[in-house]
Amino acid sequence: MGVVSRSREVVGFKCIGWLGLLLLLTLGLALGSKAGDFLALEPNAPRHGADLLVVLGGGWNARTAAGGALMLDGWAPRVLLTGIPKTRNNNGEPLDHPRYSDLLALGVSKELILLDGSARNTWAEAHLIRDVLDENGWRSVLIVSDPPHFRRLQWVCRRVFGGSNIDYQLIASRPNWWNPDLWWKNKTSASFVFKEFVKLLYYYVKYA
């Protein structure tokens, strides 16, 4: 009976998951051209400086360019790149990686760049950020990501940082492929929007 019960639970969960996915995708289709605005929320600009700037993994050029500009404008004294291992070469330099190299090329000093490759998704990145802030006694952070990632990112940050005194600000990059009003006309943005709706459901089921 125990095996049968567990089997029924698994089947039930899968049914709920597929039903939720169908509803979420239906919502996306119903939103149509507004799906981009739904995901991206309102454009953000820094309100004040922070102890740490974080450029989330993925979206290399646009996210790194936004993070580099914020650093050069003095919004934070240090920047953390997630998704890049701390592995060093014989000279003690981080192994070559496009995002790290791009920050250096933009004029950000290597002494101000922190690396971490342990987080594999947005949920893990938020926990990493919280841990880094706690370990160093920092209380504020700027988090850079791509616009259509924002609804899920905000959802995650509210849950991971909720109840703490962490002051976080979400800052949007400016990728040339993103237009919230015409998101379906670009292959990259169309793929991003579709995946975000799927991930929203997955996160709600797994982490809510």
Q: Domain of 159?
A: 43-175
Q: Which residue has the higher pLDDT, 29 or 45?
A: 45
Q: Do 55 and 7 belong to one domain? A: no
pLDDT, mean of residues 21-44: 72
Q: What are phi and psi of 186, to 5 degrees?
A: -120, 130
- Give the predicted TM-score (pTM) of the model: 0.84
| H or E element that contains 53 | strand 52-55
Whether residue 70 contacts residue 106, with contact meaning beta carbons closer than 8 Å, is answered with no
Residue-averaged pLDDT of the chain: 86
Residue 101 sits in the same domain as residue 139: yes
Q: Contact at 8 Å (CB) between 100 and 113?
A: yes
Q: How many domains does the chain have?
A: 2
Task: For residues 62 and 172, give the distance between their C-alpha atoms in angstroms, rounded to a whole number.
Answer: 9
Q: Where residue 44 falls among pLDDT bands split at 50, 70, 90?
A: confident
* 110-142 per-position pLDDT tens digit: 999 999 989 999 999 999 999 999 999 999 999
Q: What is the CATH number of the domain that holds 128?
A: 3.40.50.620
Same domain, 155 and 58: yes
Same domain, 25 and 64: no
Same domain for 51 and 5: no
Contact partners, residue 106, CB within 8 Å, separation at least 6: 64, 65, 68, 69, 71, 72
Verify that 121 and 191 share a domain, yes or no: no
pLDDT at 87 over 90: no
CA distances to 19, 96, 189, 206 from 13, in Å: 10, 43, 30, 11
What is the predicted pLDDT for the residue at 170? 97
181 has pLDDT over 60: yes
